[in-house]
Amino acid sequence: MTNQPNHKKDLHIQACLDQRVESSLTNGFERIKLSGGWPDFSFYEMDLKCRFLGKTLELPLMVSPLTGGGTLSRRINRRLAKAAETLGLAMAVGSQKLMLDKLASPDSYLLRDIAPTMPLLANIGLVHVTRGKDYLLRAVESIGADGLILYVNPIQEVLQEGGEKDFSGLLPKLEEITADFPYPVLLKEVGAGIPEPLMQWIARQRGIVGLDVAGLGGTNWARIEGLMSHCDYAIYESLGTPTAEAVIAAKRHLRVDQQLIASGGIRNGLDMAKALALGADLVSLGLPFLQWASQSLEAITAGVAALKKELQVAMWYTGSRELHALRGKYHG
């Protein structure tokens, strides 16, 4: 078992923790204003629960796919899973390619022992659907997950040394696999925003239950891959769709039975509220969870508590006792 892939995972983590890896562009939520309302209810009566993958979340929040396979991954993922189980959040593991290809121990992905009830998503790149249905099934069933996220990352792949540069035939292959795949499947970008043509394709697929827009404005993989290869990739950092715009577009295209997840530079509860007002069903965060998990379980708990309080204040301002009441309460 080589340690080179593990080393790359650790370098990604250290870059995210030690370097400036966030986009210089905003996520677009500063142009969205919440509409004021009247809170004809008690602040303590507000209900932040939502349903995801057939389970109830205490907060409309998911831990984005972050890491797995590296030497730092096990501690980070187990802290995140324990916090998600306790706080009632969803979680996705990082890319399982290293595990599935037997290039890394599965330890950092095996979380069910400490998080038996949380909604858990397996994670593999869309480009790997060429390996067939059984490969995707192994990703889900090897960790006892409830579903599968396929990440869509053409910009990262083309800039990454040794990245996948042939995306031909992926969508027909995925359509074939999901026609009778026994687990929920979602698609997710990694920080550039899912393009509208792909949103339109997703909306036509009965075997895909939703998407995470993962828009421009947060962690920028062009910047990270530039750091990894000591190249100046600044010219590529503006490629993509800001998160707010991506959420609006996805809401326009998705079917009513598909779930819309908002991520990409969301760093506070007010932006969470704006995403929900625009039509998102829940919100996903990556870098903040990585930063908190690198410190302690208590840091994760405190970070989530702050997000919850900010979301509650935004709901109070808009006169929304439940999450669904936030829908449409915005302008700008």
Q: What average pLDDT does the segment 51-78 reach?
A: 94
Task: Set out the domains of the chain in order of their start, with CATH numbers.
Answer: 4-331 (3.20.20.70)
* C-alpha–C-alpha distance, residues 227 and 230, integer Å: 5
Percent pLDDT > 90 in the chain is: 93
Q: What average pLDDT does the segment 238-251 reach?
A: 98
Say if CB 287 and CB 21 are below 8 A apart: yes
* C-alpha–C-alpha distance, residues 41 and 221, integer Å: 44
* C-alpha–C-alpha distance, residues 13 and 153, integer Å: 18
At 167-182, the pLDDT tens digits run: 999 999 999 999 999 9
The larger pLDDT score, comparing residue 2 to residue 132, is at: 132
The length of the chain in residues reads: 332
pLDDT (0 to 100) of residue 123: 98
At 110-153, the pLDDT tens digits run: 999 999 999 999 999 999 999 999 999 999 999 999 999 999 99
Is pLDDT above 50 for 1?
no
pLDDT (0 to 100) of residue 2: 42
At 312-327, the pLDDT tens digits run: 999 999 999 999 999 9
Is pLDDT above 90 for 198?
yes
* C-alpha–C-alpha distance, residues 259 and 282, integer Å: 8
Is pLDDT above 90 for 84?
yes
- Looking at every residue in the chain, the average pLDDT score rounds to 95
Is pLDDT above 60 for 79?
yes
* 44-47 own/partner pairs: CB under 8 Å, 24+ apart: 45/321, 46/312, 46/315, 46/316, 46/320, 46/321, 46/322, 47/321, 47/322, 47/323
pLDDT classification of 7: cutoffs 50, 70, 90: low
* C-alpha–C-alpha distance, residues 174 and 164, integer Å: 17
Q: What beta strand segments (E) does the chain contain?
A: 33-34, 50-52, 55-57, 61-63, 90-92, 120-125, 147-152, 185-189, 210-212, 259-262, 282-285, 330-331
Task: Supply the pTM of this predicted model.
Answer: 0.96
